[in-house]
Amino acid sequence: MRNVTTLLRRELNAYFASVLGYLVIMFFLIVMGVTFAVIVSYLNRGPTQLTAMKIMFSMFWVPSLFVVPPITMRLLAEEKRSGSIEMLMTAPVTDFEVVFAKWLGALTLYTLMWALTGLYVLILHYFSQGVAALDLGPVAAGYVGVLVIGQFLIAVGLLTSAMTKSQVMAALMSFALVFLLLIVVNWMTWLFRGEPALRMLGVAVPLDKFFKAVSSFDQMEDFARGLVDMRPLVLYVSGTALVLFLTTRILESRKWR
Amino acid sequence: MQPMIRVENLTKRFAGVTALKNVSFEVKRGEIVGFLGPNGAGKSTTMRILTGFLPATAGRVAVSGVDVFEGSLEVRRHIGYMPENNPLYVDMRVREYLKFRAKLKGVGRADRNDRIDDVLEMCGITDVRHRIIGQLSKGYRQRVGLADALLGEPDLLILDEPTIGLDPVQVRQVRQLIKDLGKQHTILLSTHILSEVEMTCNRVIIIHHGKVLVSSTLANLIKPTIEVEVRGGPRDAVQIALRGVPGVASVRMEAGDDERVRCVLHPKPETDPTEEIFEAVKRNGWKLRELSRSRTSLEDIFVQITREEDEAEEDRRDQRRTMLR
């Protein structure tokens, strides 16, 4: 565990020693800030069913798609390209400690970014006093959703970084995978809506229910309503465990090639 | 006592390529061993297996009695390793980097700062400790890598081409540093600069095409020779006469006619038979044209041994080809 702390500190330093950390946070804050401004001016027009933070959380796919690849691409690909992986793996640390610390490093940056949007909650809270009290429950649940989906996608990004020496390749692969897991799965829920169950080998497979259950957009909607469902939590946490395990195996694969 | 390194029948195959074939050698405690071989001979691969970065395909490798595969973490704690090309985190500052490495290597909080200051001093990089590694010259980076290898007070230092890319002054400094370190550590270093090995190492291991060709002390390998040129005696008579001189181990005749006989003598260890040779030539009434002592350089030996091996390899290949026909 002490090794993980040491490695984690190095990862965080690396983000802020280069422009990358600042650049990604800047991009995130511009996108979220503009979104927030648009939402607030829209809500000012008249009463609606929506709340500002609910719309904010429904934007979660933008940072997932455009922030996760740049913050994960470097993690292992650069170590492999520069050869520093050899220094790292010949120190008395295990492969899993390295993988875990790198995942934790990217997750910390991601969490930090979202934490900055807490400012919007404060602004809403301050200006909505006396008009309509801000309900903090759904806001907290929304943050849980953002983090639990984010931590899984970061693991996926780390996996692609372990597969190549090139940061560009890693970023492209993780972009494709995140696109598949979020956007394409969401399209599928539309495509299979109301479709009868598919019969395969004598078993009825209800594709509409399946895609609805794994679609992050639907899950995020629940979270933003204040509904913390155990099923997506279990899905994403065990998904992360699996992906981090795979990443460790890929890192070890130099040993059986 | 356990040898520091024991390698037994080590074989390493990469997809389709055999990098090491049945390699066996030992390094005793306190030795400085030069690990030599042409490019692609398997030096770096052997070092990577020793440090646990790569596993062996077959064979046993132990560092002070601990198997490098089963006790990998334990072994890594006792090794200071400087890989080829010395990769470092170029975005970090020197002292910051060494602190990070010291923590990873489990240097206790109480000694950490002192230990870092010590290695900075030892490697002569105290002045640049606040500089960013990426902005340092190659020589300084090399010394940062060496400082890192020394951090955990390792029993064994494994240095893969520690002086590559340095200027002559820096080479001399690093060489001196290695020599000093050899007083307390066991060192296995690979290099292409053979004069360096002659100056720093007690023993050399030469590998070629993944096989150990030579594992011997320098004194045994670099034998002094005496060249003699005689006029007036028939070749056979000269050879017999010289072989009879006490202190001469062997006589090799070189091409020539009876008029001018040239030969190379190897003296027995710790003897100098030059005067006896002169006497023997005089007794026979021949004329002595040359009598000179010299030492074959390690370079000559290296080239000779690897070339012999290449020719042997070529012969084997030819034989196989004829057999197939």
Model confidence pLDDT, tens digit, residues B157-186: 999 988 877 788 888 888 888 888 888 889
CA distance A178 to B130: 40
Rounded mean pLDDT of B75-103? 92
Using a CB-CB cut-off of 8 Å, the residues of chain B touching A92 are 73, 76-77, 104-106
Which pLDDT score is estimated for A257?
55
Percentage of residues in chain B having pLDDT higher than 90:
26
pLDDT(B267) > 70: yes
Cα-Cα end-to-end distance for chain B: 53
Closest residue to A91, CB basis, from B76, B88, B91: B76
Is A90 in contact with B92 (Cβ distance < 8 A)? Answer: no
Give B76's contacts in chain A (Cβ within 8 Å). Answer: 90-92
CA distance B177 to B139: 13
B69 touches chain A (CB under 8 A): no
B78 touches chain A (CB under 8 A): no
Q: Best of B103, B135, B164 to disrupt the A interface by mutation (most A CBs within 10 Å)?
A: B103
- What structural domains and CATH numbers belong to chain B? 5-78+154-220 (3.40.50.300), 89-148 (no CATH), 223-295 (3.30.70.1710)
Does the structure show a pLDDT above 60 at B107? Answer: yes
Nearest CA in chain B to A1: B104
Q: Please answer yes or no on whether A82 and B87 come within 8 Å at the CB atom.
A: yes
**pLDDT bucket at A69, cuts 50 / 70 / 90:** very high
Dist CA A176 CA A62 (whole Å):
14
The answer to whether residue B88 neighbours chain A at the CB level (below 8 Å) is: yes
Cβ contact B88–A84 (<8 Å): yes
In this prediction, residues A131-149 reach a mean pLDDT of: 85
- Closest Cβ–Cβ partner in A7, A18, A83 for B85: A83
Interface pTM (ipTM) of the complex? 0.86
Per-residue pLDDT, A131:
65
The alpha-carbon gap from A13 to the nearest alpha carbon of chain B, in Å, equals 9
Task: Tell me the per-residue pLDDT of A148-158, one tens digit each, with 9 for 90 and over.
Answer: 999 999 999 99
- Identify which of A48-57, A101-110, A206-215 has the greatest average pLDDT: A101-110
d(CA B68, CA B252): 46
User: Nearest-CA neighbor of B84 among A157, A52, A247, A82?
Assistant: A82
pLDDT above 80 (res B209): yes
Of B14, B53, B91, the CB nearest to A90: B53
Residue with tokens 């692969």: A173
Unique residue bearing structure tokens 């980076």: B141
Per the structure block, which two tokens stand in for A165? Answer: 């020496």
> What mean pLDDT is reported for chain B?
86
CB B219 within 8 A of CB B65: no
Distance CA B206, CA B306 (A): 9
> Is the Cβ pair A6, B103 closer than 8 Å?
yes
In this prediction, residue B226 has a pLDDT band, given cuts at 50, 70 and 90, of confident
Which of A9, A92, A256 shows the shortest C-beta gap to B105?
A92
In Å, how far are A9, B88, B144, B147, B181 from B98, measured between CA atoms? Answer: 14, 10, 8, 8, 19
Q: Which of B78, B14, B82, B16 is closest to B47 using CA atoms?
A: B82
- Written as six digits, the tokens of A114 are 């979202």
Look at residue A130 in the predicted model and tell me its pLDDT: 63
Closest to A90 (Cβ–Cβ): which among B14, B55, B81?
A: B81
- Please give the model's pTM, rounded to 2 decimal places: 0.85
Residue B88 pLDDT = 93
- Mean of the pLDDT values across residues B35-54? 88
For residue B37, the tally of other CB atoms under 10 A from its CB is: 24
Return the pLDDT at B191.
85
Supply the angle between the helices B94-104 and B109-122 in degrees, to the nearest 10. 130
- In this predicted structure, the answer to whether residue B324 has a pLDDT above a threshold of 80 is no
